[in-house]
Amino acid sequence: MVDSFGDGWNGATYTVTNFAGDVVASGSLEEAAWSVDNDNYQGAEFGYDYFCLAPACYQISVEGGSYPGEVSWQMQTEAGDILASGGATYSSFSPDDQPVTASIGDAVCGCTEEGACNYDATATDDDGSCEYESCAGCTDNTACNYDADALIDNGSCCFDNCVTVNMIDSWGDGWNGAVYELSSVDGTLIGSGTIEAGSTGADTYCLGSGCYSITVTEGSFPGEISWNISGAFAGLVQGVAGETVTFNVGSGDQCVVGCDVPYACNYDAATNISDITLCVFDGCTGCTYESATNYDEGAVIDDGSCNFEIANPCPADLNGDGSVSTADLLEFLTAFGQEC
């Protein structure tokens, strides 16, 4: 144990634990079995404790104390071989520091779980380091985002279209407040992103075939911003800050620009990008009822001009007076026998 200032560890203590969590040794420079104090300040400059450990893996942590930056230590064998070393493992100056692992005897510290990314077949003691993210990805080679290096499938496989938004900043200081928004053609927001710092950034999406749009705002320095989309239909889509671009994903043209006004002559029900300037309202009027005598199969808009032949509801009313009577019979007898 060493204190660089020479006034002891000022309350810092070390703890040695096995991987079961049992404390097998603890102490401090102030309570060392042997120490040296050169009398320049109150407290020792260095010292040591000694103890016997069974072959296994252990963790050493040093916590507490008023001046953690002065603290350092080494774990050595009786022969002087250094097994582990470090400083204060937790303090207000370095709260994320972790305990140091030491291997004693023939013990091998590592991950012993076979399904983990960092599995070590030679490890005898599991040190808690197993992780499952660095080797995770899509393991299905029929997916568009198949990762040949992935060992664990993380459910990210995409069987539609893999589309990547690539962001670039020419100055290299991020997009300075600018963001992109990716939406479907009906205005549903799918995702957004930016470059917080640096020159490049990328976001990947799994999109079904269809029509989409991307809007990029300007931020503080729009002249530095550019972007492109890979995976879109018909090649690379690209642009700069302050614009909205519509693009297709999948096969064929999914973005249909046209007239979506139902009573227009050129109404197109497949339109998903409305442009009413294309609508035509003249030249397509006429009679649209097939039962009319003047039905116009080319008419789109009915103009009320239809004519209909209405059958006589009372065919025996020969004189048209609204009733069938003796007068109608006389009409019939008068005409009876005449050649037509």
Burial of residue 309, with CB atoms counted within 10 A of its CB: 0-12 exposed, 13-18 middle, 19 or more buried: exposed
pLDDT at residue 330, as a whole number: 81
Parent domain of 287: 257-335
The reply to whether the predicted model has a pTM over 0.75 is no
Nearest C-alpha neighbor of 224 from the set 177, 256, 276, 156: 177
Q: CB 260: neighbour CB atoms within 10 A? A: 19
End position of a domain, from candidates 249, 265, 299: 249
Distance in angstroms between the alpha carbons of the first and the last residue of the chain:
136
Are residues 281 and 239 part of one domain? Answer: no
**Structural domains in the chain (count):** 3
pLDDT at residue 320, as a whole number: 77
115 in a structural domain: no
240 in a structural domain: yes
Q: What three-state secondary structure class fits 331? A: helix
For the record, the structure tokens of 19 come out as 């991987």
For the record, the structure tokens of 6 come out as 């020479």
75 in a structural domain: yes
Are residues 190 and 100 part of one domain? Answer: no
Q: Which residues of the chain have pLDDT under 70?
A: 90-96
Tell me the CATH number at 208: 2.60.40
End position of a domain, from candidates 75, 110, 145: 110
143 in a structural domain: no
Are residues 267 and 320 part of one domain? Answer: yes
pLDDT at residue 339, as a whole number: 77
pLDDT at residue 89, as a whole number: 82
pLDDT at residue 321, as a whole number: 81
132 in a structural domain: no
Pairing of strands 189-193, 180-184: antiparallel
pLDDT tens-digit map of 242-296: 999 999 998 777 888 899 998 888 999 888 888 899 999 888 889 999 999 999 9
Report d(CA 100, CA 127) in Å as an integer: 11
